[in-house]
Amino acid sequence: MIKVLHAAAEAVPFVKTGGLGDVIGALPKELIHRGVDARVILPRYRDIAAEMLDQMVVTHRITVPVGWRQQVCEIGEIQLDGVTFYLLGNDYYFDRAGLYGHADDHERFAFFCRAVLEALPYLGFEPDILHSHDWHTGMISVLLEAHYRQLPAYAALKTVFTIHNLEYQGNFASDMLGDMLDLGWEYFSPDRVEFSGQVSFMKGAINFSDWITTVSKSYAEQIQQPEYGHGLDGLLRSRADRLTGIVNGIDFAEYNPRNGAYIANPFDGRSLRKRRENKRHLQAEMGLPVAEEIPVLGMVSRLVDSKGIPLIAEALEALLAFPCQLVVLGQGQEAYEQFFAEAARRYPRQVAVKIGFDSGLARRIFAGSDLFLMPSRVEPCGLSQLNAMRYGSVPVVHATGGLKDTVLPYQAFSGEGTGFSFAEYDAAALLSTVGQALTLFQDKKAWNKLVQAAMRANSSWQPAAGQYQVLYSQLSAK
Ligand code: GLC
């Protein structure tokens, strides 16, 4: 049985700020289902609900070197839904509000990377593969080569690194090299961890891991081009033989329209009448006029540039010239939060906004909206469009990255497709595509067929977990 340890900075149901947390919460379950012994290791943040930690057992207290510092680390273990989670505790680094955004994030995650490697002999679990995710865990592969490879317990370990978003790289001033990573200046070169005069967690991971994956095929190609490469496209091109795109799935147990835990009227593709009840509920909950014939456009998104919020801002007035309602849930850049709050004040009968994070309301938007807007400028995979489809909200997306790979554009002649997409990233393209969708919305028969096709799209974790499993066995056979 292949054994895999996933190292990540977030995991559902403990902590989540975005799609990374969903992936780490769901992928191991599916891997276990396929006979891979997959486990997860993450920091024990203050933000993890106390009740969740009730069942945690602290198994060891160890010391972890962070440069000249010796930091304590508590190894906690907890079983959840058949998955073993290891939580690494250190109050100095993690007993504070929020996951990221502290001035010493470089030190906090240097500690975490080192602590994962130090903890390995104490886990009672000897992984064949160490699978790290995003920049926070990027130094694991580097430190493994630098400090642990010669020890027998680490000699055969293979490493996989998944890029969930190349934009966030973890680049920091070079003095951390010796001071926090115990690395000599020979590591400060472009084929190791140096990037534009800084120490880069992301670049270190790309250089040192046995295999690189990212979360869709299109994004795997895009990041090899200067436009999307954030300065690392050349390096990624040179590693193209060890880079694969595996599109994410969604947790079918968590995102299931037949499950009444979050929505008032559970439904499926054969009971779209009930779906319309959810729409009325959503309109009422958001304080909008309750009217079945008015199309509801939903958005659940971080409110940041890359998610295409500037397009929405530019197109808003023209969008609202259509007879429609817009429901928005999200948080992010303050300017965008204010923009939407202001729009809701100006158009109280058409726009309703909730700033924040609310996983119940998110599902009620998926289940109650007719169209789901996701005009991201860049989208490595995107999970919300998959959730929306599963709940029968037809996605309107910019054809990029995972959005391009998961939403099949509607073909008027054959009636095939699972949503709408536009190629040019501009407000006019967004508007005309929403216009087309709203025209089809008037044709109830064709529309219901499209809703059902979207609901049937197979976005479970099964295919992706299968591809990871193949990758793991190939690597561990090497
Ligand atoms: C990041 C990406 C998003 C992806 C998620 C999970 O949040 O921005 O596109 O779906 O990671 O891989």
What spacing in Å lies between the alpha carbon of 165 and ligand 1's midpoint? 6
pLDDT, position 478: 83
27 Cβ below 6 A of ligand 1: no
23 Cβ below 6 A of ligand 1: yes
State both tokens at 262: 């979050």
Residue whose entry in the numeric block shows the structure tokens 């010391």: 63
Mutational pocket test of ligand 1: of 381, 398, 459, 461, the residue with most ligand atoms within 8 Å of the beta carbon:
381
247 Cβ below 6 A of ligand 1: no
Mutational pocket test of ligand 1: of 20, 303, 307, 403, the residue with most ligand atoms within 8 Å of the beta carbon:
20
Instruction: Say what the pTM is.
Output: 0.96
Identify the H or E element spanning 280: helix 272-285
Q: Which residue's CA is minimally distant from atom 5 of ligand 1?
A: 19
Report the SS3 class of residue 343.
Answer: helix
Atom of ligand 1 nearest to the CA of 248: 12
For the chain, domains (ranges, CATH) are: 3-249+462-477 (3.40.50.2000), 272-456 (3.40.50.2000)
Write out the DSSP string of 179-190: HHH---GGG-ST
Determine the Cα–Cα distance for residues 463 and 469; give it in Å rounded to an integer: 10
364 Cβ below 6 A of ligand 1: no
| Contact predicate 428/406, CB 8 Å | no
Which residue(s) pair with 15 in the sheet?
11
379 Cβ below 6 A of ligand 1: yes
383 Cβ below 6 A of ligand 1: yes
Q: Which residue's CA is minimally distant from atom 10 of ligand 1?
A: 382
What spacing in Å lies between the alpha carbon of 450 and ligand 1's midpoint? 26
What spacing in Å lies between the alpha carbon of 396 and ligand 1's midpoint? 18
What spacing in Å lies between the alpha carbon of 384 and ligand 1's midpoint? 10
What spacing in Å lies between the alpha carbon of 371 and ligand 1's midpoint? 21
381 Cβ below 6 A of ligand 1: yes
198 Cβ below 6 A of ligand 1: no
134 Cβ below 6 A of ligand 1: no
Atom of ligand 1 nearest to the CA of 164: 11
What spacing in Å lies between the alpha carbon of 247 and ligand 1's midpoint? 10
Atom of ligand 1 nearest to the CA of 219: 9
354 Cβ below 6 A of ligand 1: no
Q: Which residue's CA is minimally distant from atom 7 of ligand 1?
A: 19
Q: What is the mean pLDDT of each run of 10 residues along the chain (478 residues)?
A: 98 95 97 98 97 96 97 98 97 97 97 98 97 98 98 96 98 98 98 98 98 98 98 98 98 93 94 97 98 97 96 98 98 97 98 95 98 98 98 98 98 95 98 98 97 96 98 95
Atom of ligand 1 nearest to the CA of 167: 8
249 Cβ below 6 A of ligand 1: no
Radius of gyration of the chain (CA): 23
Q: Where are the beta strands (DSSP E) in 308-423?
A: 325-330, 351-355, 371-374, 394-398, 420-422
Q: How many residues does the chain have?
A: 478
Determine the Cα–Cα distance for residues 218 and 214; give it in Å rounded to an integer: 9
Report the SS3 class of residue 390.
Answer: helix
Atom of ligand 1 nearest to the CA of 18: 7
How many C-beta neighbours within 10 Å does residue 457 have? Answer: 17
What spacing in Å lies between the alpha carbon of 95 and ligand 1's midpoint? 26
State both tokens at 440: 């089809």
pLDDT, position 430: 98
